[in-house]
Amino acid sequence: MKISAACGAIVLATAIGACSPAPASETATPAVPAAIEALPPAPMEPPQIAIPAALLGRWGVTAEACGPSNVPKNGLFEIFPDMVLMGLDECKVTRAEPEGEGVHIVATCRSNIDDEADYERDFSFVSSSPDTMTWITEGGTPEPYVRCP
């Protein structure tokens, strides 16, 4: 009988232990593996570029600026969804925001003529009609342009 009472006590102690709350160290949130903690943060979405479709294309300060004889591309813009070619300079659009009938653009530009350092431009394009637009420089000076054929 003593064996069975002892066994009963062990069974009872085991049953009580199973129902008792676990020590705090067993219920704590498991540690995040170091490999997961070391992951870099998720990349941020790139800024949305919002150049209106009506402004995309080639624009010249005159119709002659659009011609093939304008090798240095003086007075010529080529506007793409995320880039503006200004003469021989390439400008990667970093921000484009609607502004009235046009768009305000901030771009990082690189000169393709000499080994100058990259530079930042801040300007606006305003569409006047399907065949005309105005470039507004950093100083606020408007210059009319015509769409190239």
Query: Residues 44-78: pLDDT tens digits?
Result: 555 566 788 999 999 999 999 999 999 999 999 99
The residue ranges of every structural domain in the chain are: 2-37, 53-147
Q: Are strands 102-110 and 89-99 parallel, antiparallel or unpaired?
A: antiparallel
Residue with the larger pLDDT of the pair 65 and 7: 65
Predicted TM-score of the model (pTM): 0.65
Q: Is the pLDDT of residue 19 over 60?
A: no
pLDDT of residue 62: 96
Written as six digits, the tokens of 119 are 């530079």
Count CA atoms within 13 Å of residue 52 on its CB side. 18
| Mean pLDDT score, 6-20 | 45
- The fold for domain 53-147 equals Lipocalin (2.40.128)
Distance in angstroms (rounded) separating the CA atoms of residues 14 and 19:
9
